[in-house]
Structure 1
Amino acid sequence: MRQYRNHIVFGLLFGFLVSCAKEVALPIDPNFDIEVVDHDYSVPVYVKINNQTEGADTFQWTFDGGEPATSTDKNPGTILYNRAGNFTISLKASNRDGTQETKSMGLSIDEAIVPNFKINVEGDDFAPVTITIENTTKGATTFDWTFAGGIPQKFDARTPGKIVFQESGDHVITLEAGNGRETHTITDTVVVASGVSADFEMEPAFEDDDFQAPVTLNLINNSTSAIGYEWTFEAADLSNSTEINPTVTFHTPGVHQIKLKAYNNKRSSTKIKEVTIYENTNLRVLENIELGISTAHNSNQVGAFFSTTTREVYKADEIAPDDASFIDIAFFALNQDFNFNKFVSPDEVQDYTFGPIPNAKHTKFINLQESCECEATLTVAEFDVMEDDSLLAVLNIEETIGGIQDFDNSVLPRIVLFETWDGRKGAIKIKEFVQDGTNSHIVVDVKVQKQ
């Protein structure tokens, strides 16, 4: 009887326990939040899911518009959205008791902001410059423009009107394009050319650097922001020109004007300069020429050859191998003591320790006027006051046995007369004998006819 009662008690207790287990089934609290990476809501958008659900064993995620579109992971990680729109993230959570709960959350994805614009310049780029803007920005709803140095300087709509830049220089245009949650910035530059300015330089031809008539000038145009030029010349072989860099010759002495008008499509500028042309003295004056002794020349330290045409001194290694006919003066000194010196014709230098000069021409010299026994004479005083070729023109330069002889350094200054192969007469004034070993040389002035 006792055993029977125990069975009854155990059955009642088991039923009670089963009844209690059904009543305490675990509830589910579905919960999650999202984090937009870098707070960037413009596609592509990356969204991190943070699952905070309690009481669930299984999870079914649905990501509308996302990649991936679904997941059964408790923590699905990062979801990618490649298109704009309003989307829903849904979670269905369940447990072993058969309990299911759901939660959904909305997500708004913006179009990607791609700022871009094109500058259109009306006409040329000379100040003032007017531009218009072609705005090709995508994904933006707000626009903030800044035009550095422009009129206007600010604008806050999609397409600004005309902008004017009055001053030359680089002007930066800035666009901040936004969608309410983020902005992107882009810049470009308008280069405005400086206002037209006329300017030029006058460069005489090499043979006309003394500005004695006739004078040929090469005009070097330094104008800025111009597209055309109008030159006007006074008393020249040309009266006007439209070339950029013309060449003009003035034949008469006096003060003459050269006028340049430079212009573009908007403005013009004028520059006037004066040039003074002098009377032609037909005399070239060359000063402080250094001519070396033979060892100085042959060792390429101080040249002994000179050209009255190029006005240059030439060392041994500077002689043109095919034609050096422009050399018309050659000096020979035996040593640094200057006890044997003479000027020799270029076509005879090979007789005086020098190498021959290719295509050399003959120059007549009178080294010793005192021994010449000829009519040609010129004093130091006459050389010093010579301002034209009148004294040289009347000289009859003859080569005599006495006149071509050598000289020493006992007479200083010394005047040596010469006549080039083309009939130009001249005089050399030896001013100094410089004793400096293999660098020893003389210092001379030369006055020679131009023609």
Structure 2
Amino acid sequence: MNRKQIVFALTICLLNSCYQESRLLVNADFQAIIEDGNYTAPVKVKLTNNSTGADFYKWTFEGGTPSTSSDKTPSDITYSQIGTYKIVLEAWNGYERGEKEFTFTVDSAVTVSFDAEFRINDFAPAKVRIINRTEGASDFYWTFEGGIPETSADRNPGDVLFNKPGVHVISLVADNGREKFSLSKTIQLQDTIAVDFDVEASFDDFDYEIPFTANLVNKTTSGLTYEWTSTGGEITDKNAKNTSIHINTPGTYTVTLKGGNGNETKITSKKVTVKGNSNLYRMVNVKFGIKSAVDIVGSFYSLKNREIVTQNNVTESNGENINLVFFGINSSFEGCHFTSPDLARDAGFKLIPNATKTYFVNNIETSGLSFTRDNFDTMTNDSLLKSLDIKSASNTTSSFSAEQGFRIVLFEAADGRKGAIKVKAFVLEQINSSYILTDIKFQKTKAE
């Protein structure tokens, strides 16, 4: 080889060596970040291109939007459907090519929802049906605060029993394999049924004597249906919430109430003892005020209403029901007497509208009648009163005083009913408040 050939060969070799050293290697690399770490559809993927030595890029986003890109760093990619997807990056220059793949899974979107429905009603104990309406989850974990069962891993746990009233929390945690989603709801149960009632004698039958009528007052809580029974007597409406009972025969009876609300039924009973008819009312510690206390203590008494009536409460409608009028001249209790309502004005009281006539024996000692303190105290029926001719022996104008002490006053009302008043004490109080303290026994109805 001549000198020129050798020089040419060396030049070609040097040029080729320089070319090999300047050629760039391609390293395809990128980072894919799932936005917020949320793998539940829709998923957004943020890309960072870390490739080196490349001049050109081709991205392929299987199932994504967009599906391809030639940008070095594409904008975020969105995946709306569940599945496993592959992101592929191809990077190259004029001499080399590189490639990288990234595979990930988009989980199903989870919507947590359920209903808690009372099977019958919300009175404890109550069964609650759990209806799972969750979508997109594969696993479930339930907790039922205060329930039976307390937990469940079933998709549909069915009925849960809650025995106690109050607020209970029902919680569901739903899992799609990667993430957990939760929802809680509260239910409130009313109190359990408590069956109770009162026997309230009618106004005329407060002494529990036949014929006897009483109201059966239902005090049950959390009840919906009722059934009344009795070992005797007649119940007006056996299935009403409140009813009444009428008894015509003396004795002891058991009244029973069964209450229910669909979830529970309970029963309670009470004894009612009814006595024979004495035809005699017994009133104790009745106060009759002196003349100056007529509007404070009251000096009038109604047998029908069994109460004292003050003068300022006398009206056209209640005047005819006033039967006893007491006159006490002052707090020294001199010249006291009972007088007829139709003579009230003569005693210095205001006129009583529609006043009736009552006959009094203020002084039995001068009347010819015999009726002692022992007679009054031991009188358990009206037999003694029936035999007294009070009307013929009446001495309305006769009087008595505190000095005479204890006194019995007999009376006969316009409707023929007879009675006796026992004056037990003459009580001196502050001005315009002095009174006599009495017990009264009188017939319920006129004796035949």
Fold similarity call, TM over 0.5: yes
Deviations, residues 10-48 of structure 1 (Å, cap 9, x unaligned)? xxxxxxxxxxxxx9xxxxx999997956x7777899x99
1:396 aligns with 2:393: no
| In structure 2, distance between residues paired with 1:332 and 1:33 | 110
Gaps of 5+ in 2: 1-21, 23-27, 51-60, 66-72, 89-99
Structure 2 matches for 1:8-23, cutoff 5 A?
Answer: none
| Cα separation, 1, equivalents of 2:360 and 2:79 | 100
For the 8 Å contact 1:144–1:175, the answer to whether it is kept is yes
SS at match of 1:398: helix
From 395, 399, 402, the counterpart of 1:406? 399
Deviation at 1:403, TM superposition (A): 4.4
Displacement of 1:378 in angstroms is 1.7
Contact 1:129 1:192 in 2 (8 A): no
Deviation string 1:385-408 (CA, Å, 9 cap, x unpaired) is 222211111111136785422332
**Letter in structure 2 aligned against 1:312:** E
Task: Find 1:163's aligned residue among 153, 159, 165.
Answer: 159
**Counterpart in the other structure of 1:381:** 374
Q: How many residues align?
A: 419
CA positional deviation for 1:212: 1.6
Label 1:446 to 1:193 Cα distance change in 2 as closer, same or farther (>3 A): closer
1:323-370 deviation digits (Å, cap 9, x = unpaired): 332221121222222223221222222333433333222211122223
Query: Take 1:43 and 1:352, find their aligned partners in 2: how far apart are those partners?
Result: 101
* CA root-mean-square deviation: 5.1
Contact 2:145 2:170 in 1 (8 A): yes
Q: Amino acid of the residue matched to residue 437 of structure 2? A: V
Alignment CA distance shift 1:193-1:403 (3 Å): closer
Percent of pairs with identical residues: 32
CA distance in 2, matches of 1:242, 1:320: 41
Are the counterparts in 2 of residues 198 and 269 from structure 1 also a CA contact under 8 Å? yes
1:14-413 equivalence runs, <5 A: 111=109, 113-119=111-117, 121=119, 130-160=127-157, 162-165=158-161, 167=163, 169-170=165-166, 172-180=169-177, 181-189=179-187, 191=189, 194=192, 199-222=196-219, 225=223, 227-234=225-232, 236-237=233-234, 241-262=238-259, 269-298=266-295, 301-370=296-365, 373-398=366-391, 402-413=395-406
Distance 1:358 1:44 in 2: 92
SS in 1 for 2:198: strand
Unaligned 5+ segments in structure 1 are 1-22, 24-28, 54-62, 67-73, 91-102
Deviations 1:367-390 (A, max 9, x none): 2223xx533332222212222211
Residues 331 and 230 of structure 1, relative CA distance in 2, 3 Å threshold: closer
- 1:94 is matched with none
Q: Secondary structure at the match of 2:319?
A: coil
- Alignment partner of 2:390: what SS? coil
Distance 1:125 1:335, change over 3 A: same
Alpha-carbon offset, residue 424 of structure 1:
0.9
Per-residue CA deviation, residues 208-259 of structure 1 (Å, 9 max, x unaligned), is 121122211222344564634252432x256994444332222222223334
1:418 equivalent in structure 2: 411
